[in-house]
């Protein structure tokens, strides 16, 4: 089986230390913090949506039965 090289790179550096492509935007700290705050807000809203009925519910008109030996 033959090996075909589809793309080559001028630099031998790869991985996290590699430079981003020239046209790619560089991620910023502001964008990362905004994404983290947005994710935390969504999780908080979902948590409140599931816990609110537990906090506000109360028993109403439930039948009571006494069971046991005489």
- What six digits make up the tokens of 15? 């991985």
Instruction: Give the pLDDT of residue 4.
Output: 77
7-38 residues labelled b (16+ CB within 10 A) or e (exposed): eeeeeeeeeeeeeeeeeeeeeeeeeeeeeeee
> Which stretches of the chain score pLDDT less than 50?
none
Instruction: Give the pLDDT of residue 52.
Output: 92
Instruction: Give the pLDDT of residue 11.
Output: 53
Instruction: Give the pLDDT of residue 48.
Output: 95
Instruction: Give the pLDDT of residue 9.
Output: 60
Alpha-carbon distance of 67 to 53, in angstroms, equals: 30
Instruction: Give the pLDDT of residue 51.
Output: 94
Alpha-carbon distance of 54 to 17, in angstroms, equals: 49
Instruction: Give the pLDDT of residue 25.
Output: 77
């Amino acid at each position: 089986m033959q090996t075909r090289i589809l793309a080559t790179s001028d630099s031998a550096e790869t991985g996290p230390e590699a430079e981003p492509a020239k046209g790619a935007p560089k991620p910023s700290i502001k964008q990362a913090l905004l994404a983290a705050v947005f994710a935390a807000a969504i999780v908080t809203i979902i948590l409140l949506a599931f816990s609110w009925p537990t906090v506000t519910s109360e028993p109403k008109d439930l039948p009571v039965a006494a069971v046991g030996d005489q």
